[in-house]
Structures are given as structure tokens and as C-alpha cells.
Structure 1
Amino acid sequence: MPAQETVKPAQSRREQRRELRIGEVLDAATRRFNRQSFTVVTMEDVAADLDLMPATLYHYVTDKEDLVFRCFERVIQSYQQELEAVDEPGFDGLEKVRAFVRRRLSSTSGNRIAFSDLASLPEEKYCALIEGRRRNLHALENLIDQGINDGSITPSNARWTAIGVLSIVDWLAFWLSGRAGYSRTDALIAIDDILTHGVYRRDRPTFELPDRVNTLEPQPPGKREQKKQALLRTASILFNLNGVAATSMDEVAKKANVTRAALYYHAKDKAELYYLCMMREMKFVTSSGKHVSNETPMSWTIQIQRYLFEGHISEIGPLPTYNNLDCLKPDHRAVVMEYIHALDEDFRQRVQQAIDDGYYRKVSIFFADKVHAALTNRFALWYNEPKRVTPKEIADNHMLLYLNGLKRRN
């Protein structure tokens, strides 16, 4: 009997040390996956971050596929626990949603991950992760429905409002950093404020949604150019879905119904093909301002979002996702980043002007940009049901969330 009493605590300590080490492995891998597509990251990369021999990782995970799955699974479970924790009696729906967002903002980096490239996982693991995401989306949708019913949250499409909120907290994995010029507290306060109250001044009268229909740019003339654009669109769709590293040139050629020779005529390798796709979409995004009116900041913002989302499913789409930028060659990456920085700068100037003109509240311009970017850039990863809801409906729902916030206006 005494022997058994001494063995159990020792076993428990070993199990605790093992669980702690597994957590460290998953934290290091998650940080890597957030900086790069997980298809690019190797077991050697993760081991180097932990100052371990690569073989040591196999004491904790069976292979890279298992490591990737466990990282995603852990974050999904974290979301689930946080959503369950905030759903307690005595609080209205708005406070429950805000509590969830604050928990997400306060979570450690190991519990934040960029939900992208999931389709490149084996089907069984992909389906398990997608089902976990659906459960969390449904739980958040129920909290928003509670708020709409109790009057604390403005009426909206609860499902797409939930997707908007998840897009914002998911996007944290791309940009929230302890090395930036703001604190975690700064981010928590600013994002909670914008998500709750919106950027539009709450003492101003409610604005009308514009009835203008956007005109998308026509496809370029000439059969050769049209074939090239169709090829780049096919490649963009596959890169958004599977990630660049997990998509082969052969797969692109087969999906586009062209020969390998035709594909290599346009791009000598996959990195160049991805660059051509990004440049195609950057030009589409940067040209969007030419097709909308500038009557008010609200009208401009809503029309821009409609134009982008409708363009996403058209022949000039899709919108690019930014999680594969590390797959670009350095000189190409510099060109794409110049486009992205220019877009960010233009948007921030517009927010500042709207504040100066008395349309917007005195919000943090930096964090307003991050919230808007999340609602735009995550669209390509969520939207897969064109028959059930149109891009215009989602664009309006997302931008009303951004402009007015969750809280019901007087």
C-alpha cells in the first residue's frame, strides 16, 4: 500500500510535465503557423524554435499532420469553453458577446490561430475542425439572437453578425503582437469599443443605406488575355482554399483545363503564379474606389464593400487572402506589400477625415482599420452559400456592424 501511494504522485508529476511540454510544443507551432502557412512549416522549424532536436517532437505528436490538427483543435476547444463560460443567467446578450470578445483578446498567443488552408488537411481532420467551427458559430449566433430578442443588440442577420464577430477575433492571429506600439489592454479597449458602439457618431441621425448598384469592371478584351485572367482566377480560388504550398501547378492546370505548357507560359513556377494572382487582385481592390460615389463616408464604405464582395464571386474575383504572402519571393512580396500599405493608408486617411467632418466618433484609427480589414479579408474564407444569401446582404450586414456596432441605437 505505501508503495502505491508513492507511485501515483510520481506518475501524476510526470503526466503534468508531459502536458506542459505538449502545450509548449503546440504554442511554438501555432506561432509558426500564424506567421506562415502551415503547409510551409516543417517539424525542424518548430523544433528549432524550442531548441530541441526534431526527433524529440515525436515523443509528443505522431507527425506534422497530427501537430497541425492538435493546434487547430485546441483553439476551437478554447473558443467553445469561452462561449460556454459567458452564457450565464442575469446578463443580456450584448454583455455576453462582449465578454467573449474580451476573453479572446486576453487569451495567450497559443490560443489564437489563423483559420486558413484547412482544406489542405485530410478530409477526416478537415471535417472535424469545420464541425467544431460550426458549433462555435452556432453558439455565438445564439448569444446574438438573445441580444436581439432582449433589445440589447440591434436587429440584424444573427448568423452573419456572428461570422463578423468571429472574423474580427480570428484576425487577431495575423496582427496582434506584443512587439508593436500598443499594449494588449489598448487593443482590448479599442476593439471592444468599436465592436460595441461602431465608428459612426451615436448622436447623429440614422443614415440611409445607398440604393446604388455597383458596376463591376468588364473583362479585358482579347481571347488570349481573357484566357489568362480565367487561369489566374482558377489559381486564386485554389490558393485561397488550400494554401499556396499545398496546391500544385498540375492541380491548377487540370482545374483550369489547360495544358502544363500553357500554364508555364504565363508563370515559370508556383511563386510567380501566386504573385500574378495577387497583383491581379490588388489592382481590382485598388480600382474599387473609381466605381462608387463619395457622398458620405458611410455611403462610400458600404458601396466599397458591396463592390468587393460582389466582385469576389464574379469573373474578376476572388478576393485574396493574405496568409500566404511568405510564399512570395522577396522582391515580389515587397511590391504586394506596397499595394497593401497604400490601401491601409488611404483607408486610415478616410477615417480621420470622417472624424474631422463630424461623421465618425473619435475612435482609434489604427484599430478601426484592423476591424474593417477583418470584416473584408475573412469573407473569402467564410462565404460558400451563394444561393442562401447574396454578397450584397453580407456586405451591408458587415458594414452596419462596423459603422453602428452591436449596441442598439436610440
Structure 2
Amino acid sequence: MNTNARFNEFDRAYFITKYLNPLSKSIYETQLSFKIPFFKETRGLKVTAQTLFDKNVFDAEAFSGFPDYKTTKEKIDLGKLLFNDPILSGDNSRSCASCHHSDKAFTDGLEKAVSLDGTMMVKRNTPTLRNIAFQRSFFYDSRVNYLEDQAIAVITNVNEMHGSLDKSALDLKKSKKYAADFKKAFPNKEITAFEIKNALASYIRSLSDYDSKFDGYMRGENQMDLDEIAGFNLFTGKAKCATCHFIPLTNGTVPPNFDRSESEVLGVPGKNKKIDIDFGKYDLTHAEVNRYSFKTPTIRNIALTAPYMHNGFFKTLEEVVDFYDQGGGSGLSFNLPNQTLPTDKLKLTPLEKKQLIAFMKTLTDKKLY
């Protein structure tokens, strides 16, 4: 009774693997034995899930929204070609892959990417594309709800690719290979802006495997060491990370329905160590509660995606942990009455900080494409 009497000492990793997962599997098996039918509708968390940590337990199609968006192998293959082809940019000099490098979990390692004309930096840090399919909104300010719309926004942005999907469609029709590939992916359709954006989104949706060391541990396939396990318990306990980065997705898509993605006000610093001048979601909503609000991203593959935050201010995970440990912007003495991050100090020890980072490194996928 007294073994887990204190919140910070509760071994969540042991409880999940030894009690919750077996219980969840037993419920699933009982349903099968009694021949209780599964629900028919498509859900973010598949209705056939045995545990939250099953491989492919989340359904990317449930996040795509429309039947016409349905992902197929042919669309994925076509989308990969388009992703790596500069034909979609206005001057044929930049592809999606120019700023999303597969070896960096589809980020670029920069604070912010350089604009297409080379004269400035784009507004925000390049986010990872790995595992972003399981979100209900995209971009740091949550301004679009579907990956198809994200593709359009980037391609048509003057500073990013300055392209036109309609113009690209005309150029693609001139290629015999692309004409054949589009025919395979979209048998009864012409090459139009829709087919281009849907193929790109299909490829991005395919970049979601959940095959990290952490996932294997939760499935009983491999072990984590004591520091990594302690880090998980800190992540879900004392350090409060999982109150915004929900397990197992580690993004802001809210369980149990997974039908909305949250944003938070953290108080990220910028130049001169003052609060960053980017207002985030406020620029769209003009609601004071959204001033400095940014979408909670996935921290899957976080060891590969430095620098961090919407402005790339923090260069290392150690800096990020220190920022949270001191209470975010409030801990830096910023006047931020709408901060949603808890303002009290976490009081993590040096060892706990190392353990927390050790756990986050177990979120690196084995296959990065």
C-alpha cells in the first residue's frame, strides 16, 4: 500500500508494463472471446488497439479528414519524388527536402532556414516531419488543420518556395515519368493542385513508425537502462513534461479522443534574453490568451532536431531542460500573465536532468528514411 505513496516516487514505467498493458490486453481478449464487435468508425486510436503502445496503433487516416485523402503506396511513392524535386519551387532551386533532411528527422539543424532569395531568414524554425501525421493542426501557430494545406502554405510562401501548384501541374504534365506515376496514384484524375498536395501529404503521413527504443520497451521487445526508466518516470511525473506532451504520441494531441491539438504559452526568450517578439497564434486570433502561444510539437526524435523552440533559441537539450526547470518565461522574470506552463520551479537535480534527457533520447526512431 505504501510503496507508491508519493507522486514523485511512483514507478510509472513498471506500472504500465506490468499492470496496465496486461490489463488492456485482457480486456481486448475478453471482447474477442465474447464476440463483441468492434466499432466501425475510423478513430485516431484504432478500435482494435490492445494497448496504447502497439505498433501502428494510431490511424493516420483518421487524422486526414476526407475520403479523397486516403493514403496509398502509389501516392506515397509519388509524394516522395515530389518532396525531393525542386520543380515545385518558383525558380526550380529548392525542394521540400532542401529544408527537411531525413538524417535530422526531417529538420535542417538551423535556427531558421534561409529565405529563397538568400536575403533573410524565414519566420520560424523548421519543424520535424517525422510522426506529425498524428496532429489536428499544423505550423507553430496552428493555422491549418490538414497536411495537404500545410504543403500548399509552404510551397506558395514567398520566402520559402514561392511556387504555384497550378504552374507545377502544367510542368509535371510535360514529364512522361510523372504522367505515368500520377496515373498510378490517381487513375481517374488529371494532374492538378489537389493531386500534388495529396501525394505530398501521403508521403509525410507515411513518416510515422513509432519504432524507437522506448516503444520496444513498452511492448516488451527490449530493455531500457535504469537512467532511461528514471527519465521516463520524471517525464511523466516530477518534471511534468507529459502534462503537455502526452504519452505515447509525445505531442499536444489530447487523449483519449485525439481530436484536438493544444498550444501553450511558455515564454521562450529571444534576442537580448528578452521574450521573443513572435506573438505566435495571437497574430491569427487576436485573442490575448493566445499571445506567445505555440503548438505543442512532438518530441519524438528530439535528439536529432536541435536547435529547439519556434525560434531555434535553445541549442541543446540541456538548455531546454534548464528553461523548464526554472519555470519558463516566468522564471526568467518575463511579465507573462497568460503563461500556461507552470511557473513554479521543478527543482530537478543534476542527475535527474541527465536522466530526463536519457529518456528523451530513447524516442529516436530506428528507421528515419
TM range (shorter): under 0.3
TM-score in terms of structure 1 length:
0.25
Q: Which has the higher contact order (CA 8 A, sep 6+)?
A: 1
TM-score in terms of structure 2 length:
0.27
